[in-house]
Structure 1
């Protein structure tokens, strides 16, 4: 029992630290996760992490949060998944709820140290791209898939772009590597049976169908709010930015928040670490205080939890199939391309807008790659130099 409690505490403390320092959006979060869980802690192998990222990219919901939940699930079961989610999201939830209660801006989004942390994300993602590209796109075919993914995403950005590209890359990998994939894939230690996973998927689907049907019957503000945020979390592909227009249509016309309050909260959500889906915490709090913030947070993240717990047992079996391994070769190469495209926009374009910021990015990258500095040292260095220079 003591060992289990120690393990759960470790999951919480690591995810909390990531929640406090992971600036830069979902792609940057995945780079921070890789550095912590693959390189430093060695909780997962590179391929296991890549397969988990591929799964999170393919299902709806906040990809980085689902990867964190998946890692927590593998290490500590369902409670580990919840604790991992809690640690990673808690910092931004608290900040956004406090901001909503204050209902005023403190100019935090323009602070130099915030800009410095955005530049840190540039260095972290660049390092992750080099490592993942070397491991997941080592030959001409997979490198070609990665390059084509980058090109398509740079010129064709829609809600469904990533899903279409991942499916196409999987088909290409299946054709190119069918019968050739001979990598020995050890099973992930998923502590859930397929029967339990099917139960979670049934709950996910049932809520998605039943909540809208009951909405006219129940006809209460709280039920309407839960339905709105649950559907937003269940039906969005492409990460937090995609969920914003959907939430705007749900809360502004209904009078829950004004358009100005919505934009102010969005600005603050961009300035804090952690998942952008915690914008729901701000909206719920602005609409109905702390209880509303807690409810909105639970509603928008619940689909992600149900999906990762429901799909992972089946995914674990599928990834060991030789033919599926060929498809995963293509999918993982595609994920490298997705990360590279997102590295340019929005990470690089939003963080590096001057020669000073570019120089800072190079310095931080050098600290990571050549000086082998610890991530927290790089984060503090970026924040300090950002405050002094930017």
Structure 2
């Protein structure tokens, strides 16, 4: 605290800092294109280098923690930086400002998508589905190189893919993550454990334990409440909370988890699901705002604005509870080789889960002929070789989808 701050009552200081946090993250929410890794670069430039809210070592340690935990890593980093700067109100301000721009745009797209008709409108939606092929293929490629670079982890990835194919739905994905972690304990214990850096956030051990207990309680009780109350709102919150609890390895992994929760029960059609996921790639901010789109287009009520709010809160909440729970214990926990080995195995399993989703539903729903394949391959090369910004690829492939629809009116 500066001398100026010390002369001001603490509530006023925190209120001013919360406003500062909101403004900083609103700017980031409007301009942070490129996915979670790019977001972390934007955060570093704006909040570490320019504003000096945290030093380089502390920021690196925070990023390591958020990549270790399930949940949206970039949003968790933003939430923690808001917490560090202005307490719980700052954490809420950071999340709201970073999430709101893309969530609002996607809800508007959800309302407008129902009006798309004719060759051009259908072609646009089909082009967005092809975008999803290119983006997920890029994610699988990049994650495989980083998370499954050796024989042991590549084998875990393939085994997870087979398990997800054999046990369709959320059961197969949860089983793949658990068995991947167990396989990691056996196969992935040779790598060194990094322990540099320390996190000093204003979270007590008691508060951390309460957050962890609440995370487990919601994960266990929400399915029971959904079954006993027959409430669609509770069922919706349960599905998105469970999906948010299992996202290891980045925002793209939420795709197969949400597909299992909303497409297979018939709440959202496959076409609407993939079109929304394609549109999400053109948005700034976190990929998890895809949940707002799904809540808005949901078939049974609550849908629309209410559905978007329920889904958005539910998918982010578990990652934030785990982050708050882990902050007081991270330094001691991450020094344990067993924990690191289990996470290496679980992360390798994530590659297999996303690989299975790349085939079904992404590929099978979008690639209906050689022209679609050529368009998807073009997008993949632009993303991986030319390093084109995702929003540019979205725009080009959407235009390509419209062009194909005009040349071949019979296509979807």
TM-score, length of structure 2 as denominator length: 0.66
* Aligned ranges 1:219-234 → 2 under 5 Å: 226-234=233-241
8 A contact 1:115–1:386 mirrored in 2: yes
Alpha-carbon distance change, 177 to 385 in structure 1, aligned in 2, over 3 angstroms: closer
8 A contact 2:160–2:352 mirrored in 1: yes
* Aligned ranges 1:182-201 → 2 under 5 Å: 182-184=192-194, 191=201, 193=203, 194-201=205-212
* 1:294-349 alpha-carbon deviations (Å, 9 max, x no partner): 44333344333332221124456244532211111111111111111111111122
Task: Determine the structure 2 residue equivalent to 1:157.
Answer: 168
8 A contact 1:169–1:334 mirrored in 2: yes
Say what the alpha-carbon RMSD is for the aligned residues: 4.2
Task: Determine the structure 2 residue equivalent to 1:36.
Answer: 38
Q: Is 1:387 aligned with 2:402? A: yes
Alpha-carbon distance change, 196 to 90 in structure 1, aligned in 2, over 3 angstroms: farther
Task: Determine the structure 1 residue equivalent to 2:275.
Answer: 271
1:167 & 1:322 partners in 2: Cα distance? 18
Aligned-residue offset at 1:142: 0.8
* Aligned ranges 1:140-219 → 2 under 5 Å: 140-178=151-189, 180-184=190-194, 191=201, 193=203, 194-201=205-212, 205=217
Aligned-residue offset at 1:279: 3.4
* 1:188-209 alpha-carbon deviations (Å, 9 max, x no partner): 9695625434444555637985
Q: SS of the counterpart of 1:181?
A: coil
8 A contact 2:379–2:393 mirrored in 1: yes
Unaligned runs of 5+ in 2: 1-16, 46-55, 84-90, 247-255, 281-289, 406-412
Aligned equivalent of 2:371, options 356, 371, 383 = 356
2:223 & 2:166 partners in 1: Cα distance? 37
Alpha-carbon distance change, 357 to 266 in structure 1, aligned in 2, over 3 angstroms: closer
Aligned equivalent of 1:70, options 71, 76, 97 = 76
Query: How many residues end up aligned between the 2 structures?
Result: 338
8 A contact 1:54–1:332 mirrored in 2: no
Task: Determine the structure 1 residue equivalent to 2:98.
Answer: 84
8 A contact 1:196–1:310 mirrored in 2: no
Aligned equivalent of 2:131, options 111, 120, 130 = 120
Task: Determine the structure 1 residue equivalent to 2:24.
Answer: 7
Alpha-carbon distance change, 379 to 326 in structure 1, aligned in 2, over 3 angstroms: same
Aligned-residue offset at 1:356: 0.5
Q: Is 1:244 aligned with 2:292? A: no
Q: SS of the counterpart of 2:35?
A: helix
Q: SS of the counterpart of 2:149?
A: coil
Q: SS of the counterpart of 2:101?
A: helix
8 A contact 2:147–2:153 mirrored in 1: yes
1:184 & 1:190 partners in 2: Cα distance? 18
Alpha-carbon distance change, 343 to 184 in structure 1, aligned in 2, over 3 angstroms: same
* 1:80-110 alpha-carbon deviations (Å, 9 max, x no partner): 22333333432232343567xxxx7543896
Task: Determine the structure 1 residue equivalent to 2:3.
Answer: none
Residue range with higher mean Cα deviation, 45-54 or 234-243:
45-54
8 A contact 2:292–2:307 mirrored in 1: no
* 1:10-31 alpha-carbon deviations (Å, 9 max, x no partner): 332146x6xxxxxxxxxxxxxx
Aligned-residue offset at 1:382: 1.1
8 A contact 2:263–2:273 mirrored in 1: no
8 A contact 2:126–2:401 mirrored in 1: yes
Q: SS of the counterpart of 2:170?
A: coil
Aligned-residue offset at 1:70: 2.3
Q: SS of the counterpart of 1:373?
A: coil
2:166 & 2:133 partners in 1: Cα distance? 21
Aligned equivalent of 2:296, options 278, 281, 289 = 281
Aligned-residue offset at 1:358: 0.8
Task: Determine the structure 1 residue equivalent to 2:410.
Answer: none
8 A contact 1:190–1:313 mirrored in 2: no
Unaligned runs of 5+ in 1: 18-31, 57-62, 249-261
8 A contact 1:319–1:328 mirrored in 2: no
Alpha-carbon distance change, 341 to 297 in structure 1, aligned in 2, over 3 angstroms: same
* 1:238-282 alpha-carbon deviations (Å, 9 max, x no partner): 63333337977xxxxxxxxxxxxx77x886455333425643334
Task: Determine the structure 1 residue equivalent to 2:88.
Answer: none
Aligned-residue offset at 1:112: 1.2
